[in-house]
Amino acid sequence: MRKIVILGSTGSIGVNTLKVVDRFPGKFKVIGLTAYNNFELLFEQIKKYSPLYVAVGLKGMDYLKRTIASSKIKVLSVEHDLSDLVTLPLVDIVVIGMRGSAALGPFLSAVRAGKRVAPANKEALVVAGDIIMREAKRCGAEIIPVDSEQSAIFQCLEGRKRSELKKIFLTASGGAVYHVPKAEFGKLSVRRILNHPRWKMGKKITVDSATLMNKGFEVIEAIRLFHLDVEQIEV
């Protein structure tokens, strides 16, 4: 049974990771769950999965310490304790579903501890992907991307020689402004930009989708993960 820590367990990646755990109850044991602000959902997850460790922000720490009945669960700080959590000897897999560059510290710590790391976080790989990949090779860590585009590339490459890869095509939905003429861009409302036609996620990633900034991040991410030149990627 693989023992798993999920950083960002209340976000879409974390919630879907727990669905995988539910489908394979004999294969995974949840050791740690973390969230920043959604500590009420985190509490429901704690009741269901009985992790040994949870990490939240300051307000959430007070809430969980009042509501958690079990003394076996250790409540940690999401700002300060994540690197310690992911490097625990009993941890096999670290899923990184938290957003932003705050993921860089625990990501690098997990890699240096030789863990299997499943990132859905673009920012850490954009900021320091060359360092992360170099440290993964040095420390024997395994990086398995779970973000949709990078995961698809990873799966296509399984069992094949790296030399067979000539080019990667990254697709883009275009967001809410795909059909908007350039002349109208100055008149766009925030509400319209946030009205993504295919999915509902956070405001930042929705805006980044509309401007294709998110796709720029994915290009850099793919370069780092798969050791590519920028000329080998087409959006």
Rounded to an integer, the average pLDDT of 106-125 is 95
Domain segments of the chain: what residues?
2-146, 175-211
Give dist(CA 165, CA 160) in Å, integer: 9
Q: What is the dotted CATH code of the domain comprising 2-146?
A: 3.40.50.720
Closest listed residue to residue 154, CA positions, set 125, 174, 113, 123: 125
Closest listed residue to residue 106, CA positions, set 52, 55, 173, 165: 55
Residue 201 has pLDDT above 80, yes or no: no
For position 114, what pLDDT does the model report?
Answer: 98
HSE value, Cβ hemisphere, 13 Å, CA-based, for 52:
10
Confidence band, pLDDT 50/70/90 cuts, at residue 62? confident
Residue 56 has pLDDT above 70, yes or no: yes
Residue 91 has pLDDT above 80, yes or no: yes
Environment class of residue 151 by beta-carbon count within 10 Å: exposed (0-12), middle (13-18) or buried (19+)?
middle
Give dist(CA 52, CA 50) in Å, integer: 7
Q: Are 31 and 115 in contact (CB under 8 A)?
A: no
Instruction: Give the single-character DSSP code of 198.
Output: S
- Contacts of residue 90, defined as CB under 8 A and 6 or more positions apart, other chains included, come to 3, 31
For position 99, what pLDDT does the model report?
Answer: 83
Mean pLDDT estimate for the chain: 91
* Residues in a beta bridge with 118: 95
Locus of tokens 């700080």 = 77
Q: Are 101 and 124 in contact (CB under 8 A)?
A: yes
Q: Is 160 helix (H, G, I), strand (E, B) or coil?
A: coil
Give dist(CA 98, CA 95) in Å, integer: 9
Buried b (16+ CB within 10 A) or exposed e, 49-62: bebbbbbbbeebbe
Residue 27 has pLDDT above 90, yes or no: yes
Residue 51 has pLDDT above 90, yes or no: yes
For position 133, what pLDDT does the model report?
Answer: 96
Confidence band, pLDDT 50/70/90 cuts, at residue 171? confident
Locus of tokens 């690197």 = 83
For position 135, what pLDDT does the model report?
Answer: 97
Confidence band, pLDDT 50/70/90 cuts, at residue 60? confident
